[in-house]
């Protein structure tokens, strides 16, 4: 993928991030707290032998180091806690880390377990490169991720210069060049045959290699190395697709010990919502709906959907709504896994930073939040909105519907006849006593009729509507069915 | 809790001595006579309790101008547990945006109280109908305090039997039907004024014509109360 046109005057600054303890740090949150202080090693199957991939400092103190076989490691340290590597979870964590990097720079490359950032355009936003690097280190440390970095003018240089600690000072161009030339050639990723030829030629550092004439090198080495050299010299670009946040959000937190009450669910839910909001921020959008899955070890999982009448990118509001809805939910006894899923997004509306002077936006936002919280606590069945339909029969002209789902279609052809404010959902039959109408009290007709017909395609309804009142002056909306001549109350003029 | 002096001073119930008394904040009822009786209109930042003697005498029509005012202001109007279904064509005829109305049904008293308080605090206009048994004094006080904090009007429709019980509402009005379209309002409680003032309010043309069942059809609908209400 080619980079869009940019000012060529400013040289690129590539930052390479390496996470040496990633397999361990993926699994650490799931380790019970009392075991975290014990020696732990992550093992991986290599050529049919389980070998140590990485270990924590407690294990390193026992002499455990990467590439030891599992039996040697256990012989060295009998108490060693051995955990198998979880590649899938590692990839998820890498996606999260790439998302974090994406909030620092729009140019992020995620290639297997390597992350690169191009930060030359981000100096102003973070008030200097050193501040940017410092902030990045803080954010990574907050997520308890160990990272080391390398800085160079191109991705390959950055990777070659990756040291053993996180640098927060940006080296200048000559410093970078100097370091590159002194880098050992054994760090260059090539096959063994080529490494051997380097030795035979007496080439020890990258500087030695680059000092040789290009034509001589091309006779001796394959095109792959020539490409690497061209890339190190900034002559050819490093081709890799840029990282883009995924189209849907799905994240989970596992808790092998199980969560037994709703209060302790809230903490992992908060973490997940914060990740969602980081994702929303990166994509500059708001979500319209989120979905929770609570999965127990045994049995059916429980789902909870939170629909928003507006849109939202604020984790505390989402947490409040989730909490309200959670109160109504019957949960499995012990929950092992919490999944948060969101796939309905809209572009972030303007003025999300509360910069607008007029609070019109704010009242609309308040209304949406009120509907959402009522919805979360009382359930969607408890809420409705009156709707005007294009129909003649009153009970069909005026219906109730779920808020925000329908819009009024009726044209308000102002009827000449008076209309009531209350409608009885089921018309109440009126009795006739001494040739007088009676419903709760004796009623007398004031005016009428207005004939309304409808529903002719099914059972035809023909009604004569009258206005009636009782002795206290309360007014009623009566109708007489022309077919049966029976009287009904259909509304009250409140 | 209010966190600065400006918030405290902007509240209506902060006493600052007679010379610096803030004008009473109220929202017009849409009826001049009623505005005079209520000293400016419906109090905002307060709970108003209406006690109609029976449904159908025009108690809701009284609030139509207020509903329209709030809906035009893009604020939500929450109808909590209305006794019947609101009839949309009538509301549309009064030019009230239907998507600003929200009908909420509660399943128990705790939900009713929570929804009412939440609505008031979220800047919505609340019309709440009490159910049996009537809410306790402490619950209503919660709503009154919420209204005082929010700066919005809130209306509570209670049964006439509630009149004998004390209420923390800032204003209590008893409504009686006299004739068709004629409403008798009695102020039972009002801040700063002794109660007992009455007003006969005309919500439309008084129609005295009655037709016997045997003589139907009666005159076609001669009067159109909606148009007169809007005047």
**Crossing angle of helices A262-283 and A315-327, rounded to 10°:** 150
Interface test with A, best of B68, B89, B94, B179 (most A CBs within 10 A): B89
Interface of B with A in 120-139 (CB under 8 A): 122-124
Identify all chain A residues contacting B183, using CB atoms and an 8 Å cutoff: 473
CATH code, domain carrying B138: 3.40.50.300
Q: What is the model's pLDDT at position A398?
A: 86
Provide the domain count of chain B.
1
| Share above pLDDT 90 across residues of chain A, in percent, rounded to a whole number | 13
**Crossing angle of helices A129-142 and A87-102, rounded to 10°:** 150
Identify all chain A residues contacting B115, using CB atoms and an 8 Å cutoff: 374, 377-378
A47 contact B CB<8A = no
Residue from A475, A478, A491, A464 nearest A431 by CA: A478
* CA–CA dist A417, B227 (Å, integer): 11
List pLDDT tens digits, range A165-209.
Answer: 888 888 888 888 888 888 888 888 778 888 888 888 888 888 888
pLDDT band of residue A415 (cuts 50, 70, 90) is low
* Interchain CB distance below 8 Å, A397 and B53: no
B183 lies in some domain? yes
Q: Tokens 């051995």 sit at which residue?
A: A82
Give yes or no for residue A147 having a pLDDT over 70: yes
- At the topology level, CATH places domain A250-375 in Dna Ligase; domain 1 (3.30.1490)
Residue from B222, B93, B204 nearest A414 by CA: B93
List pLDDT tens digits, range A2-29.
Answer: 444 444 557 788 999 999 899 998 888 8
Burial class from Cβ neighbours inside 10 Å (0-12, 13-18, 19+) for residue A299 reads exposed
A249's CB contacts (< 8 A; 6+ apart) are A276, A279, A280, A287, A340, A341, A342, A343
Interface of A with B in 398-457 (CB under 8 A): 398-400, 403, 407-408, 410, 412, 414-425, 435-437, 444-450
- Mean pLDDT of all residues belonging to chain B: 84
List pLDDT tens digits, range A245-271.
Answer: 888 999 888 888 888 888 889 999 999
Q: Do residues B109 and B138 touch, judged by C-beta distance below 8 A? A: no
Q: What is the model's pLDDT at position B157?
A: 95
Residue A449: is the preceding peptide bond cis (ω within 30°)? yes
3-state secondary structure of A12: coil
What pTM value is reported for the model? 0.74
pLDDT band of residue A413 (cuts 50, 70, 90) is low
Interface of B with A in 72-131 (CB under 8 A): 73-76, 78, 82-93, 98-107, 111, 114-115, 118-119, 122-124
B14 lies in some domain? no
- At the topology level, CATH places domain A1-38+79-244 in Alpha-Beta Plaits (3.30.70)
Residue from B57, B59, B67, B58 nearest B28 by CA: B67
| Share above pLDDT 70 across residues of chain B, in percent, rounded to a whole number | 86
B6 contact A CB<8A = no
* CA–CA dist A433, A241 (Å, integer): 86
* Interchain CB distance below 8 Å, A367 and B210: no
| Share above pLDDT 70 across residues of chain A, in percent, rounded to a whole number | 93
Nearest-CA distance B170 → chain A (Å) = 24
Residue from A197, A202, A158 nearest A179 by CA: A158
Q: What is the model's pLDDT at position A165?
A: 84
- CB crowding A81-97: b at 16 or more within 10 Å, else e: bbbebbeebbeebbbbb
For chain B, how many residues are written?
231
Counting Cα atoms < 13 Å in the Cβ hemisphere of B208 gives 0
* Interchain CB distance below 8 Å, B101 and A385: yes
- Mean pLDDT of all residues belonging to chain A: 84
* Interchain CB distance below 8 Å, B55 and A492: yes
Nearest to B76 among A370, A397, A476 (CB): A370
- Nearest residue on chain A to B225, alpha-carbon basis: A418
Residue from B132, B116, B99 nearest A377 by CA: B116
* CA–CA dist A42, A24 (Å, integer): 6
Q: What is the mean pLDDT of residues A126-146?
A: 88
**Residue span of the structural domain in which B45 resides:** 22-202
Nearest-CA distance B117 → chain A (Å) = 11
Nearest to A445 among B90, B123, B211 (CB): B211
B4 lies in some domain? no
DSSP classification of residue B164: G
Interface of A with B in 354-393 (CB under 8 A): 360, 363-364, 366-367, 369-371, 373-374, 377-378, 381-388
Give yes or no for residue A359 having a pLDDT over 60: no
Name, of A116-120, A438-442, B18-22, B117-121, the range with top average pLDDT: B117-121
Identify all chain A residues contacting B62, using CB atoms and an 8 Å cutoff: none
Q: What is the model's pLDDT at position B208?
A: 65
Which residues of chain A form CATH 3.30.70.270? 1-38+79-244
Give yes or no for residue A489 having a pLDDT over 90: yes
List pLDDT tens digits, range A191-203.
Answer: 888 888 888 888 8
pLDDT tens track of chain B, all 231 residues?
Answer: 546 787 777 776 677 776 555 556 788 898 888 888 888 889 888 999 999 998 888 899 999 999 999 999 889 999 999 999 999 989 988 889 988 999 999 999 999 999 999 999 998 999 999 988 899 999 999 999 999 888 889 999 999 999 899 999 999 999 998 888 888 999 999 887 888 889 998 887 766 677 777 777 766 555 444 444 443
Cα B31 to chain center, whole Å? 13
- ipTM attached to this prediction: 0.85
DSSP classification of residue A241: P
Which residues of chain A form CATH 3.30.1490.100? 250-375
Q: What is the model's pLDDT at position B224?
A: 45
């Amino acid at each position: 993928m080619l980079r869009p046109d940019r000012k060529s005057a400013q040289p690129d600054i590539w930052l390479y991030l390496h996470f040496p303890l990633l397999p361990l740090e993926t699994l650490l949150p799931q380790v019970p707290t009392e075991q975290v202080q014990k020696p732990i090693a992550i093992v991986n199957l290599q050529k049919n032998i389980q070998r140590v991939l990485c270990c924590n400092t407690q294990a390193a103190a026992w002499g455990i180091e990467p590439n030891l076989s599992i039996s040697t490691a256990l012989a060295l340290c009998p108490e060693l806690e051995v955990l198998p590597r979880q590649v899938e979870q590692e990839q998820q964590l890498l996606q999260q880390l790439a998302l974090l990097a994406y909030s620092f720079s729009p140019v992020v490359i995620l290639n297997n377990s390597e992350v690169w950032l191009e930060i030359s355009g981000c100096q102003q936003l973070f008030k200097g490169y050193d501040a940017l690097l410092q902030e990045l280190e803080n954010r990574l440390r907050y997520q308890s991720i160990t990272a080391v970095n390398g800085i160079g003018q191109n991705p390959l240089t950055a990777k070659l210069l990756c040291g053993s600690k996180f640098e927060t000072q940006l080296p200048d161009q000559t410093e970078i060049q100097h370091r590159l030339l002194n880098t050992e050639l054994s760090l260059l990723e090539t096959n063994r045959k080529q490494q051997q030829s380097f030795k035979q030629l007496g080439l020890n550092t990258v500087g030695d290699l680059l000092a040789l004439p290009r034509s001589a090198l091309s006779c001796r080495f394959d095109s792959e190395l020539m490409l690497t050299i061209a890339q190190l010299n900034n002559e050819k670009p490093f081709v890799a697709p840029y990282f883009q946040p995924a189209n849907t959000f799905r994240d989970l937190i596992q808790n092998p010990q199980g969560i037994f009450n709703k209060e302790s669910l809230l903490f992992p839910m908060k973490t997940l919502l914060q990740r969602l909001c980081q994702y929303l921020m990166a994509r500059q959008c708001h979500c319209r709906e989120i979905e929770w899955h609570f999965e127990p070890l045994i049995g059916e999982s429980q789902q909870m959907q939170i629909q928003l009448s507006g849109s939202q990118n604020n984790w505390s509001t989402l947490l409040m709504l989730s909490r309200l809805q959670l109160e109504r939910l019957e949960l499995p006894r012990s929950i092992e896994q919490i999944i948060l899923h969101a796939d309905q997004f809209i572009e972030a509306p303007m003025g999300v930073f509360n910069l607008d002077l007029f609070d019109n936006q704010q009242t609309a936002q308040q209304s949406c939040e009120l509907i959402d919280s009522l919805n979360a606590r009382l359930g969607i069945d408890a809420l409705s909105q009156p709707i005007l339909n294009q129909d003649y029969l009153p009970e069909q002209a005026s219906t109730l519907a779920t808020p925000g789902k329908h819009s009024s279609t009726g044209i308000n052809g102002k009827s000449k006849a008076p209309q009531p404010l209350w409608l009885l959902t089921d018309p109440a039959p009126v009795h006739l006593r001494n040739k007088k109408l009676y419903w709760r009290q004796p009623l007398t007709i004031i005016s009428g009729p207005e004939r309304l017909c409808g529903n002719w395609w099914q059972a035809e309804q023909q009604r004569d509507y009258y206005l009636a009142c009782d002795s206290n002056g309360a007014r009623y909306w009566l109708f007489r069915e022309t077919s049966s001549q029976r009287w009904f109350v259909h509304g009250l003029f409140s | 809790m209010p966190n600065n002096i400006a918030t405290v001073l902007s509240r209506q119930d902060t006493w600052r001595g007679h010379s610096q008394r803030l004008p009473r904040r109220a929202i017009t009822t849409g009826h001049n006579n009623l505005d005079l009786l209520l000293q400016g209109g419906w109090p905002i930042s307060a709970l108003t309790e209406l006690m109609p003697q029976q449904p159908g005498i025009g108690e809701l029509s009284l609030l139509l101008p207020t509903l329209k005012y709030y809906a035009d202001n893009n604020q939500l109007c929450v109808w909590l547990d209305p006794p019947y279904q609101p009839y949309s064509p009538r509301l549309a005829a009064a030019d009230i945006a239907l998507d600003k109305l929200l009908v909420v049904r509660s399943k128990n008293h705790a939900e009713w109280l929570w929804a009412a308080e939440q609505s008031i605090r979220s800047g919505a206009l609340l019309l709440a109908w009490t159910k049996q048994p009537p809410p306790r004094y402490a619950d209503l006080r919660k709503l009154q305090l919420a209204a005082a904090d929010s700066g919005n009007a809130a209306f509570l429709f209670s049964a006439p039997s509630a009149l004998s019980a004390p209420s923390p509402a800032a204003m209590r009005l008893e409504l009686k039907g006299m004739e068709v379209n004629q409403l008798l309002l009695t102020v039972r409680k009002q801040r700063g004024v002794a109660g007992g003032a009455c007003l006969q309010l005309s919500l439309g043309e008084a129609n005295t014509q009655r037709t016997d069942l045997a003589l139907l059809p009666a005159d076609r609908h001669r009067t159109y109360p909606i148009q007169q209400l809007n005047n």
